[in-house]
Amino acid sequence: MSEDEKELNSEDDFQNISGSEEEGELESHSSYKVPGTSGTDIKYQLTGMYQNWFLDYASYVILERAVPHLNDGLKPVQRRILHSMKRLDDGRYNKVANIVGHTMQFHPHGDASIGDALVQLGQKDLLIDCQGNWGNILTGDSAAAPRYIEARLSKFALDVVFNPKITQWKPSYDGRNKEPITLPIKFPLLLAQGVEGIAVGLSSKILPHNFNELLDASVAYLRGEEFELYPDFQTGGFVDITRYNDGERGGSVKVRAKIEKRDNRTLAITEIPYGKTTSTLIDSILKAQEKGKIKIRKVDDNTAQHAEILVHLIPGTSSDKAIDALYAFTDCEVSISPNCCVICDNKPHFLTVSAVLKQSVDNTLDLLRQELQIQKGELEESLHFCSLEKIFIEERIYKDKEFEESSSMDVAIAHIDKRLEPFKPDFVREVTSDDILRLMEIKMGRILKFNSDKADEQITALKSQIETVKEHLAHIIDYTIDWYTRLKEKYGKRYPRLTVIRGFDTIEATKVVEANEKLYINREEGFIGTGLKKDEFVCNCSDIDDIIIFYRDGKYKVVKVSDKMFIGKNVLYLNVFKKNDTRTIYNVIYRDGKEGLHYIKRFAVTGITRDKEYDITQGKPGSRIVWFSANPNGEAEILKITFKPKPRMKMLFIEKDFSEIAIKGRQSMGNIVTKNEIHKISLKEKGGSTLGGRQVWFDRDVLRLNYDGRGEFLGEFHSQDLVLVVLQNGDFYTTSFDATNHYDSNILIIEKFVSDKNWTAALFDADQGYPYLKRFRFEATTRKQNFLGENPKSRLILLSDEAYPRFEVIFGEHDAFREPLIIDADEFIAVKGFKAKGKRITTYTVETINELEPLRKEEPKIESIPEVAPEEENDEKTDDISERKEPGNNDILDELTGQMRLF
Domain-wise residue ranges, the chain: 3-43, 74-168, 256-335, 363-482, 518-685, 754-852
Answer yes or no: are the C-beta atoms of 759 and 778 closer than 8 Å: yes
Rounded Cα distance between 270 and 307, Å, is 5
Exposure of 353 in the CB half-sphere (CA atoms within 13 A): 28
**Residues 755-771: pLDDT tens digits?**
999 999 999 999 999 99
Most trustworthy range by pLDDT among 209-213, 454-458, 533-537, 799-803: 209-213
CB contact burial 660-683 (16+ within 10 A = b; e otherwise): ebebeebeeebbebeebebeebee
Name the CA dihedral angle for 323, 326, 329, 331, rounded to a multiple of 10 degrees. Answer: -140
Q: Which CATH architecture has domain 363-482?
A: Orthogonal Bundle (1.10)
* Average pLDDT for 179-196: 95
Is 148 tagged catalytic?
A: yes
**Residues 572-614: pLDDT tens digits?**
999 999 888 888 999 999 999 988 899 999 999 988 899 999 9
Rounded Cα distance between 335 and 506, Å, is 13
Rounded Cα distance between 182 and 364, Å, is 13
> At 785, which helix (H) or strand (E)?
strand 785-786
pTM for this predicted structure: 0.75
* Average pLDDT for 467-483: 95
Burial (CB count <10 Å: 0-12, 13-18, 19+), residue 231: buried
Q: What is the average pLDDT score of the chain? A: 86
Q: Which fold has domain 256-335?
A: Gyrase A; domain 2 (3.30.1360)
Starting at the earlier edge strand, list the strands of the sheet with 723-727.
Answer: 747-752, 723-727, 731-735, 785-786
Task: Give residue 603's pLDDT.
Answer: 94
Given 44, 60, 148, 173, the catalytic residue: 148
Rounded Cα distance between 675 and 641, Å, is 12
Residue 701, phi then psi, degrees to nearest 5? -70, -40
* Average pLDDT for 727-749: 90
Rounded Cα distance between 820 and 199, Å, is 70
- Would the pLDDT of 25 be above 80? no
Dihedral angle sign, alpha carbons of residues 143, 149, 155, 160 = positive
Strand ranges for 302-338 from DSSP E: 309-313, 333-336
Answer yes or no: are the C-beta atoms of 222 and 480 closer than 8 Å: yes
- Same topology, domains 74-168 and 518-685? Answer is no
CATH number of 74-168: 3.90.199.10
- Would the pLDDT of 201 be above 90? no
* Average pLDDT for 725-745: 91
3 state DSSP class of 662: coil
Answer yes or no: are the C-beta atoms of 675 and 477 closer than 8 Å: no
Rounded Cα distance between 351 and 73, Å, is 13
What confidence category does residue 678 fall into, taking pLDDT thresholds of 50, 70 and 90?
confident
With pLDDT > 90 as the criterion, what percentage of the chain qualifies?
A: 56
Q: Which CATH architecture has domain 518-685?
A: 6 Propeller (2.120)
Residue 62, phi then psi, degrees to nearest 5? -70, -45
- Would the pLDDT of 17 be above 90? no
